[in-house]
A and B are shown apart, each in its own frame.
Chain A
Amino acid sequence: MTLYSVRTCASALALGATLLASQALAKSDITIAMQLEPPHLDPTSAAAQAIDSVVYTNIFEGLTRFMGDGSVVPGLAEGWEISDDGTVYTFTLRDGVTFHDGSTMDAEDVKFSLDRATAEDSANAQKALFAGIESVEVVDPLTVKITLSEPNGNFLFNLAWGDAVIVAPESIDDIKTNPVGTGAYTFGDWVQGDSITLNRNPNYWGEQPALETATFKFISDPTAAFSAMMAEDVDVFDNFPAPENLPQFEADPRFQVLVGSTEGETILSTNNKQAPFDDIRVRQALAHAIDRQAIIDGAMFGYGTPIGTHFAPHNPAYVDLTENSAYDPEKAKAMLAEAGFADGFETTLHLPPPSYARRGGEIIAAQLAEVGIKAEIINVEWAQWLESVFKGKEFGLTIVSHTEPMDIGIYARPEYYFQYDSTDFQALMDTLNSTTDPDERTRLMGEAQRLIADDYVNGYLFQLAKLGVAKAGVQGLWENAPTAAIDLSAISWSE
């Protein structure tokens, strides 16, 4: 009997000790929800943001990388030298970096990655990033020399994109389903339609991150997102799809809400080649018919910053041009009459699934109706949108958020889906790309912003806010989204 009670006491003590120990140790796993599931896991061959959210800096790293504040810092390159004429970049790679399969990351891999991106048949979604690369030379295993055809002040920034990460020739064939990179996390498991799991990489070259495993869970329905968060099934929602629910999270001490900025210029994209939008007066009328604040309040419940051009307001080179297209329905009507559409006209408004587009579209359709433009709303899924609007260019108007950083360059591509073809703008972009002086670049970027605002290429609505929701104990989340990324190594639990 005595023996028995002593034993129970001992085991109770042991149990208590275990409990204490586990409480003292911070949680080492996390579940992060995102709205969209990536189509595959190769960031170098698709534009899907969801791929970068999972793999950027976690699995794959580039020569340089973005930090949460948008700055560009060394990644796999320890440092670099730029020749005086700005055309030759000599990168020194970090020593002792290995891919998850154990092979060494060296200059050959860098050459392979960049050659693959610049190749004629490259599937890279952002080929423009690499357009100026003339040659990539392996000097020694830890030194790479990249020669540009002309100076490019953006080159280090370009290399930080998820599309420019370093991949290995040995594992390239299976990259879409089994990505092998150099990052702090290795690919674990992918349950299609549900989640992706990443595990900490014990052989990581840098500091070991706090979290051992991370699960990315895909929840596309806003109602399900709200329930999952409220039931604490997920720890973080990267970008919460229903802004109307944020006040409830803010009022709840269990959660924290992180409202930041993204690189997403949300615009009323206009088919510049389709009549009547080929007439600048019609596009200007469109711009004056739109009340941005009503859209931000009605569709985003107040989250978002009005923009007057295709540029992020938090960028130092941003010029506030909202007055250029101020809400003025009378002026819009007058401009339409001048263009020969006194009785208005009919067009289509294609709306992809996010609430900024669906709800914003309803508001815009009502605002356009005020000036006589009848916009027929067509709700489409993303796949349909990519097929008919983005590739097929069969649309009048559409609403979409352009989330790539510093993407004003898309206006220099006449074949891009909104089909703006201006030789002035294309020349301006060429000048900008070959300018390295920061002040001059700022001036040129301002000029570019003014040019597209004065040409009323698209209706400029607002800068999309990043609406993160997380449990109160989660630290280190990026408040802003300078690129699509969930930087796991920065995240930890507070106790």
Chain B
Amino acid sequence: MSRNLILGSALSSLVVLAALVSFVWTPYDHAALNIPDKLQPPNAQHWFGTDHFGRDMFSMIMVGARTSIAVALVAVGIGMALGVPLGLTAAARKGSWLDEVIMRGNDLVFAFPSLVIAILITAVFGAGAINAIIAIGIFNIPVFARITRGAALSLWEREFILAARVAGKGAARISAEHILPNVANLLIVQGTIQFSLGILAEAGLSYVGLGAQSPTPSWGRMLADAQTMVSFAPHLALIPGLAIIVTVLGLNLLGDGLRDWLDPRIRVARA
């Protein structure tokens, strides 16, 4: 196990843990306004201080982790659920019109700047966590489709696939039984990376007011709310900013570590 893997999983599990614990316990009600106590710097009662409405920042960060993780997780789920079958199909029907349609469709989605389209989608269909998930999810589809197709293509050339074909298995069955297990490692690594990108995208959309809506806490919106107050209450911006950094850094380290650990090529080289 590499240092990256250990540090990455430690940071990521810290964030996941905060999100899970927030379901049963937070120091304060994250939505309870307490205006007389507003803008307190971090102290013994409020570990991360209070925001401009006197809400406890620590509780908000915990519940905000939930929002970030939920949005990113579902978005990656959408990408995998649609992208992987598309990639497998394209690889199985290599060179056919179906392959062309799928891959050119992917190119089309790739060609658009993702955040701009996400803004367009949420602007047209209304701001909210659900639309943010869909917008981010759509851009995960081609990522997974491409990576799956690429890996699957080289597998289709291998002898064990030929053996399976000789045994009379159809393309769909081979894809599910032999190809998919062999690309799973790659998908897990890519999933971790997309997960961290999803968290950034959610924070970005919330920052411009198109992500999760009040009173659902979101790190991006906390940053946006803090803008005019940074000069006299810097903790309002620093704390959600650090939360985003810790999460994204953790997930990237985890992804790197996982790749080192799981990637067969590197494993072979190591052996």
Chain A residues in the interface with B (C-beta under 8 A): 222-223, 226, 242, 244-245, 247-248, 294, 297-298, 359, 361-363, 365-367, 369, 376-379
Q: Mark B30-60, 1 if CB is under 8 A from A, else 0.
A: 0111011010000000000000111000000
Query: A residues within 8 A CB of B213?
Result: 376-379
We find that the number of chain B residues with CB closer than 8 angstroms to chain A is 20
Can you name 16 A-B pairs with beta carbons within 8 Å? A222-B227, A223-B228, A226-B231, A242-B228, A244-B229, A297-B35, A297-B38, A298-B35, A359-B52, A363-B53, A365-B215, A367-B33, A376-B213, A377-B213, A377-B215, A379-B213
Quick check: B52 and A379 within 8 Å, CB to CB? no
Asked whether A223 and B33 contact (CB < 8 A) given A248-B232, A298-B52, A298-B53, the answer is no
Chain A interface SS verdict (over half): helix
Contact partner of B35 (CB less than 8 A), chosen from A242, A294, A361, is A294
Query: B residues within 8 A CB of A245?
Result: 228, 231
Quick check: B215 and A362 within 8 Å, CB to CB? yes
Query: A residues within 8 A CB of B38?
Result: 297-298
Question: In the bound complex, how far is the Cα of B33 from the Cα of A207, in angstroms?
Answer: 54
Chain B residues in the interface with A (C-beta under 8 A): 31-33, 35-36, 38, 52-54, 126-127, 209, 213-215, 227-229, 231-232
Query: A residues within 8 A CB of B33?
Result: 294, 298, 363, 366-367
Query: A residues within 8 A CB of B227?
Result: 222-223
Query: A residues within 8 A CB of B214?
Result: 361-362, 365, 377
Total A-B residue contacts, Cβ distance less than 8 Å: 55
> Would you give the shortest CB distance from B257 to chain A, in whole angstroms?
38
Query: A residues within 8 A CB of B127?
Result: 379
Question: In the bound complex, how far is the Cα of B209 from the Cα of A378, in angstroms?
Answer: 10
Question: In the bound complex, how far is the Cα of B38 from the Cα of A223, in angstroms?
Answer: 20
Asked whether A366 and B215 contact (CB < 8 A) given A244-B52, A298-B52, A379-B209, the answer is yes
Query: B residues within 8 A CB of A244?
Result: 52, 228-229, 232
Query: A residues within 8 A CB of B32?
Result: 366
Query: B residues within 8 A CB of A361?
Result: 214
Quick check: A222 and B228 within 8 Å, CB to CB? yes
Question: In the bound complex, how far is the Cα of B219 from the Cα of A351, in angstroms?
Answer: 21
Question: In the bound complex, how far is the Cα of B209 from the Cα of A376, in angstroms?
Answer: 15
Quick check: A362 and B228 within 8 Å, CB to CB? no
Query: A residues within 8 A CB of B35?
Result: 294, 297-298, 363
> Would you give the shortest CB distance from B130 to chain A, in whole angstroms?
13
Across chains A and B, which 5 residue pairs bring their CB atoms closest together, nearest first?
A242-B228, A298-B35, A223-B227, A222-B228, A294-B35
> Would you give the shortest CB distance from A371 to chain B, in whole angstroms?
14
> Would you give the shortest CB distance from B201 to chain A, in whole angstroms?
19
> Would you give the shortest CB distance from A278 to chain B, in whole angstroms?
26
Question: In the bound complex, how far is the Cα of B215 from the Cα of A377, in angstroms?
Answer: 8
Question: In the bound complex, how far is the Cα of B35 from the Cα of A359, in angstroms?
Answer: 12
> Would you give the shortest CB distance from B35 to chain A, in whole angstroms?
4
Question: In the bound complex, how far is the Cα of B53 from the Cα of A247, in angstroms?
Answer: 18
> Given known contacts A245-B228, A366-B31, what 18 new A-B pairs fall within 8 Å (CB)?
A226-B228, A244-B228, A244-B232, A248-B231, A248-B232, A298-B35, A298-B54, A362-B53, A362-B214, A363-B33, A365-B214, A366-B32, A366-B215, A367-B33, A377-B213, A377-B214, A378-B126, A379-B209
Question: In the bound complex, how far is the Cα of B229 from the Cα of A369, in angstroms?
Answer: 27
> Would you give the shortest CB distance from B235 to chain A, in whole angstroms?
15
Question: In the bound complex, how far is the Cα of B186 from the Cα of A375, in angstroms?
Answer: 45
> Would you give the shortest CB distance from B128 to chain A, in whole angstroms?
9
Query: B residues within 8 A CB of A378?
Result: 126, 213
Query: B residues within 8 A CB of A226?
Result: 228, 231
Question: In the bound complex, how far is the Cα of B229 from the Cα of A248, in angstroms?
Answer: 11
Question: In the bound complex, how far is the Cα of B72 from the Cα of A488, in angstroms?
Answer: 53
Query: B residues within 8 A CB of A362?
Result: 53, 214-215
CB closest residue in chain B, given A241: B228
Question: In the bound complex, how far is the Cα of B231 from the Cα of A242, in angstroms?
Answer: 13
Question: In the bound complex, how far is the Cα of B231 from the Cα of A298, in angstroms?
Answer: 18
Query: B residues within 8 A CB of A363?
Result: 33, 35, 53
Question: In the bound complex, how far is the Cα of B52 from the Cα of A297, in angstroms?
Answer: 10
Question: In the bound complex, how far is the Cα of B215 from the Cα of A363, in angstroms?
Answer: 10
CB closest residue in chain A, given B126: A378
> Would you give the shortest CB distance from A293 to chain B, in whole angstroms?
8
Question: In the bound complex, how far is the Cα of B213 from the Cα of A222, in angstroms?
Answer: 20
CB closest residue in chain B, given A221: B227
Query: A residues within 8 A CB of B215?
Result: 362, 365-366, 369, 377
> Would you give the shortest CB distance from B62 to chain A, in whole angstroms?
18
Question: In the bound complex, how far is the Cα of B104 from the Cα of A193, in angstroms?
Answer: 40
Query: A residues within 8 A CB of B31?
Result: 366, 369
Query: B residues within 8 A CB of A242?
Result: 228
Query: A residues within 8 A CB of B231?
Result: 226, 245, 248
